[in-house]
């Protein structure tokens, strides 16, 4: 299986996925694309010999469809079987999502269906939750709403700042996402709990 990974920033999740895709893995990375040419993950991917693409969303302004057409051109050229959103911070239109439905995954830093959207760690602390975590789900037109393929849990500790909690969750993301992708690439959609 051919995997394209979309990032917006440092790409730590992308790295975890790429490092797990060794010779024994049913999939291999064929493209790392970012909506920001300055995304640190692009240089990290290039350093690992993976093809990269930078499609800056800013010149397209509010025209999401035009940005996605430019991104799709680079994606189609890589002929991916699976797309992994990994720290990708752009909302995708239903048109783009339907093109890849059933073959596009995302990792979200909360125990879905709780805390869809942004600032999930601060919201969990604010709510006084004892537990928090991350979820890998299939991407559908509903933001952070598709079938959950895996979750990992962490405790919320007294005195946690959002950054403390984010760091604890991120460590689990780097374990969960590769585990889910391995299974998904073999056609197995049974959920994983870490
Ligand atoms: C992190 O906040 C992570 O929780 C979320 O995307 C952000 C950046 O991740 N999934 P990465 O280091 O770019 O993978």
| Cβ(11) – ligand 1 distance below 6 Å | yes
What is the length of the chain? 194
pLDDT digits (tens, 9 = 90+) for 108-132: 999 999 999 999 999 999 999 999 9
Q: pTM of whole model > 0.95?
A: yes
The ipTM (two decimal places) reads 0.94
Helices then strands (H, E): number in the chain?
6, 8
Q: List pLDDT tens digits, range 88-100.
A: 999 999 999 999 9
Using the mean position of ligand 1's atoms as its centre, give its distance from the Cα of residue 86 in Å. Answer: 6
21 close to 184: Cβ distance less than 8 angstroms:
no
Q: Say if ligand 1 is within 6 A of residue 7 CB.
A: yes
90 CA to middle of ligand 1, Å? Answer: 13
């Amino acid at each position: 299986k051919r995997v394209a990974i979309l990032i917006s920033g440092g790409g730590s999740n992308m790295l975890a996925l790429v490092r797990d895709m060794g010779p024994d893995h049913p999939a291999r990375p064929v493209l790392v694309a970012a909506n920001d040419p300055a995304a640190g993950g692009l240089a990290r991917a290039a350093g690992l010999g993976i093809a990269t693409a930078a499609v800056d969303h800013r010149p397209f302004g509010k025209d999401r469809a035009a940005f996605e057409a430019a991104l799709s051109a680079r994606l189609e050229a890589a002929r991916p079987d699976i797309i992994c959103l990994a720290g990708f911070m752009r909302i995708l239109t239903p048109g783009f999502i339907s093109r890849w439905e059933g073959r596009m995954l995302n990792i979200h830093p909360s125990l879905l269906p709780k805390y869809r959207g942004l600032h999930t760690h601060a919201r969990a602390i604010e709510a006084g939750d004892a537990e928090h975590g991350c979820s890998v789900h299939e991407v559908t037109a509903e933001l952070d709403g598709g079938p959950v393929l895996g979750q990992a849990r962490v405790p919320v500790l007294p005195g946690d700042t959002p950054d403390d909690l984010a760091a604890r969750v991120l460590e689990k993301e780097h374990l969960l996402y590769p585990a889910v992708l391995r299974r998904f690439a073999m056609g197995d959609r049974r959920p994983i709990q870490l």
